[in-house]
Amino acid sequence: MHRYKFVLYRPLQFLPVLFGISLITFILVRLIPGDPARVLLGTRSTPSAIAAIRAQYGLDQPIWLQYFYFLQNLAQGEMGKSILYKIDVLRLIATRIEPTLALVLSAVLLSLVIAVPLASLAARSNGGPADHIVRFVSTFGIGFPPFWLALMLIIFFSVRLDLFPVSGYGETVADKLYHLILPALTIALSLSTVLIRSLRTAMIAELKGDLATAARARGMPESIVFWRHVMPNSLVPTINLLAVNIGWLIGGTVVVESVFALPGMGQLLVRAIFSRDYMVVQGVAMVFACATVLVNFIADIVTVAIDPRVKQ
């Protein structure tokens, strides 16, 4: 069972990365020209507020000490207040996690539902008409800008067919899922093009590879060759690809949430940038980064569960 030993110490390896994330988010805000206290407080900068924030973040101290105060505040779950919403940044973000998380999860599931059958179909008819069609569609689809694809889906499904809502998020679970269908479909369509290409390549390599040859040489039917040997061996690189693409996926949600006015973290980030709400920008960037690290950790566990060769 030593295979899973890394679950214990892998988080230790993430420490330098987490440290780096905090350093970058810290530097980002300090790079803004002007008095940091005024920058952080925006238009609300009364002399007393400025003095308070100076004290809290040690803004008149040397920069390395400021970073130390920043970490100290962070350790206490204190990331400052939003100028726009006038509440704690972390509390604000907490209210925005659900839509984003639901969107990412449903998009990943949907993209797998689209990609796995299509990639299998293409790989098994390698060179045939089905393969050509799938390849053409995935190559073409990779260039669809998510924001534009979202609008096209709205024109078709919401305006023409009146099937789905144009924007917003619901109250009940069913209502929320209903509102998530088009946004999730937008991201899933984009993501599945990447997945199809990668899966198809991996499957074709496996189908032509030594492993499949050996299985056929002992008379295994093509279905066993494919499902027992080719499929698991092709999924390993695809899981890694998904993990690598999680950052890209989150980028997609930022845009798509803005198009559909979904009250998630992405929409929050864009609004914060426009209203110069830097504390929120800093907080959202940091939470997104930590989420990415977490996803990679989960991908590691899944990979180890599938592939006994990996043991780190």
Partner 1 sequence: MTAALAPAWKAVRRRPTLLAGLILLAIFLFVALMAPVIAPYDPILQNGDLRLQPPSWSHPFGTDNFGRDIFSRVIWGTRVDLQIAVIGVVFPFLIGTVVGTLAGYLGGKVDIVFMRVIDIILAFPFLVLMLSIIAILGPGLQSFYIAMALVGWVSYARLIRAQMLVLKTADYATAALSLGFSGPRIMFRHLLPNAIAGSVVFSMSDCVLVLLSGAAISYLGLGVQPPVAEWGVMVAEGQSFITTAWWITLFPGLSIVTLAFGFSLTGDGLGDLLGVRE
Partner 2 sequence: MSETLLSVRNLSVVFAGEDGPRTLIDDLSFDLGKGEILGLVGESGSGKSLTCRSLVRLMPSPNLTIASGSVMLDGRDLTKAPDSDIRAVRGRDIGMIFQNPTSHLDPLMRIGDQIAEGIRIHRGVDGKAARAAALDILAQVGFPHPARQYNGYPHEFSGGMRQRAMIGVALSCDPRILIADEPTTALDVTIQAQILRLLMDLRESRGLSVILITHDLGIVAQTCDRIAVLRQGRLLEIGDKRDVLGRPQHPYTRNLIASHPSMPERQAAFVPAREPAIPKARPLVEIDDLHVRFPVTGRSLFSGGPREFSAVKGVSLQVMPGETVGIVGESGSGKSTLARALLGLTPISEGHVAFDGADIVTERAKALRKLRREAAMVFQDPYNALNPRLTIGAMLAEVLAVQESVPKERIPARIGELLDLVGLEREFAGRKPLSMSGGQCQRAGIARALAVNPKLIVADECVAALDVTIQAQIVDLFRDLKQRLNLTLLFIAHDLAIVRNLCERVVVMYHGEIVEEGPTDKVFAAPREAYTQALIGAIPDIDPDRPLLSPRGGDDFVEETSGLVTGEA
Residues that bind partner 1 (CB under 8 A): 16-17, 20-21, 23-25, 28-29, 31-32, 139-140, 142-149, 151-152, 154-155, 159, 197-198, 201, 205, 246-252, 254-255, 258-259, 269-270, 272-274, 276, 278, 281-282, 284-285, 288-290, 292-293
Is residue 261 exposed (0-12), middle (13-18) or buried (19+ Cβ within 10 Å)? middle
Give, as one character, the DSSP assignment of residue 158: I
CB of 187 to partner 1, least distance (A): 12
Number of neighbouring beta carbons within 10 Å of residue 267: 23
CB of 119 to partner 2, least distance (A): 18
Pick one of partner 1, partner 2, none as the site partner of residue 219 (Cβ within 5 to 8 A by kind).
Answer: partner 2
Pick one of partner 2, partner 1, none as the site partner of residue 197 (Cβ within 5 to 8 A by kind).
Answer: partner 1
Of 8, 15, 31, 161, the one binding partner 2 (CB under 8 A) is 8
Q: Quick one: 3 or 247, whose CB is closer to partner 1?
A: 247
Q: Write 146-152 long-range contacts (CB < 8 A, 24+).
A: 146/186, 146/187, 146/190, 146/252, 146/255, 146/256, 146/259, 147/255, 147/256, 147/258, 147/259, 149/186, 149/189, 149/190, 150/182, 150/183, 150/186, 150/255, 150/256, 150/259, 150/260, 151/259
Q: Which of 239, 110, 261 is nearest to 184 (CA)?
A: 110
Q: How far is CA 23 from CA 17, 74, 168, 210, 285, in A?
A: 10, 12, 35, 48, 12
Q: Which stretch binds partner 2 (CB under 8 A): 19-27, 79-87, 185-193, 304-312?
A: 304-312
Pick one of partner 1, partner 2, none as the site partner of residue 227 (Cβ within 5 to 8 A by kind).
Answer: none
- Asked whether position 88 contacts partner 2 by CB under 8 A, the answer is no
Compute the distance between CA of residue 120 and CA of residue 190 in angstroms, rounded to an integer: 18
Q: Which of 73, 28, 31 is nearest to 282 (CA)?
A: 28
Q: Which stretch binds partner 2 (CB under 8 A): 60-68, 129-137, 170-178, 214-222?
A: 214-222
Q: Quick one: 91 or 132, whose CB is closer to partner 2?
A: 132
Phi-psi region of 169 (alpha: psi -120 to 50; beta: other; left: phi over 0): beta
CB of 60 to partner 1, least distance (A): 22
Compute the distance between CA of residue 245 and CA of residue 296 in angstroms, rounded to an integer: 10
- Asked whether position 86 contacts partner 2 by CB under 8 A, the answer is no
Pick one of partner 2, partner 1, none as the site partner of residue 309 (Cβ within 5 to 8 A by kind).
Answer: partner 2
CB of 163 to partner 1, least distance (A): 15
Site residues (CB under 8 A) for partner 2? Answer: 2, 5-6, 8-9, 12, 127, 209-211, 213-221, 224, 228-229, 232-233, 236, 306-309, 311-312
